């Protein structure tokens, strides 16, 4: 994967791409996830408002928080982060070489977005 993936929210959502073009390109599907988030924003404005307020709602990928958990932290996927950025109406801006930590404003749970699959069982 290209470590840094950026796409401006002013760019249109791509149309007519094959599955391989969406998921096997240098971004490994991050742009597709972000575009799904942008579409979801139009379809579910209440969910978008929650994300804009710093909530980490349950989406298609690991990284959302439904309720407070005993542990104060968990891991999530960059796919989630991309979809969340689209849902918030933001540019896609991910550097996969750097872990990102966000705290859900509703539950207080800290989520670390990472490519290190070994952490998924620990955190």
pLDDT tens across 27-69, in order?
999 999 999 999 999 999 999 999 999 999 999 999 999 887 7
pLDDT at 1 over 70: no
Between CA 16 and CA 92 the distance in angstroms is 20
Higher pLDDT, 70 or 5: 5
pLDDT tens across 97-119, in order?
999 999 999 999 999 999 876 77
DSSP 11-67: SPPP-S--HHHHHSSTTTTHHHHHHHHHHHHHH-HHHHHHHHTT-----SSTT--SS
Between CA 86 and CA 60 the distance in angstroms is 13
Q: Can you give the residue range of the structural domain that contains 85? A: 4-120
pLDDT at 19 over 70: yes
Name the pTM for this structure: 0.92
* Number of domains into which the chain is organized: 1
């Amino acid at each position: 994967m290209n470590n840094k993936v950026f796409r401006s929210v002013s760019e249109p959502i791509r149309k007519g791409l094959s599955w391989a073009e969406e998921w096997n390109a240098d971004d490994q599907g991050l742009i597709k996830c972000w575009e799904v988030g942008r579409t979801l924003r139009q379809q579910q404005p209440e969910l978008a408002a929650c994300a804009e307020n710093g909530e980490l709602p349950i989406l298609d990928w690991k990284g959302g928080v439904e309720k407070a958990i005993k542990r104060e932290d968990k891991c999530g996927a960059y796919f989630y982060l991309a979809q969340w950025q689209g849902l918030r109406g933001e540019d896609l801006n991910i550097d996969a070489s750097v872990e990102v930590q966000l705290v859900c404003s509703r539950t207080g749970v800290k989520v670390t977005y990472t490519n290190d699959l070994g952490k998924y069982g620990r955190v």
